[in-house]
Amino acid sequence: PWTVATLAARVGCSRATLGRRFTELVGEPPMAFLTERRLALAADLLLEPGTTLAAVAQRVGYATPFALSAAFKRVRGHSPRDHQRRTA
C-alpha cells in the first residue's frame, strides 16, 4: 500500500513538504486521503459475494482483519459487517 513516505519519494520531496502541499491542494492530509481511498475500496470489495474480511484486509493493505475493522469503524462509524448488512 501507499504511504506518505512512498509518495514523497515518488514526487521527490520531503514528507513535510508533501504533507503541507497536499493539504493545501486537496483539503486534507495525505494519510487521511490514503486511508479513505483504502476504505472505499474495502467497502466495495466487501459487497462481493463470498469475500472474507481477511481477503479484503490483505488486498487493501491492512496487516490483519482486526486492523481493517478498527479503521473502518473509526472512519466510517460502523463495522465492515454492518456495512455488508446495510447494503445487502
pTM for the model: 0.85
The mean per-residue pLDDT over the stretch 12-16 comes to 96
pLDDT of the residue at 2: 78
Hey, where are the domains in the chain?
4-87
Q: Nine-digit cell at 54?
A: 481477511
Q: pLDDT tens digits, residue range 42-62?
A: 999 999 999 999 999 999 999
The mean per-residue pLDDT over the stretch 50-76 comes to 97
| Topology (CATH level 3) of domain 4-87 | Arc Repressor Mutant, subunit A (1.10.10)
Residue by residue, DSSP assigns 52-82 as -HHHHHHHHT-SSHHHHHHHHHHHHSS-HHH
Q: How far apart are CA 75 and CA 83, in angstroms?
A: 12
Helices 65-76 + 53-60 axis angle, to 10: 80
By the 10 Å C-beta count (0-12 exposed, 13-18 middle, 19+ buried), 80 is classed as buried
Q: Nine-digit cell at 49?
A: 459475494
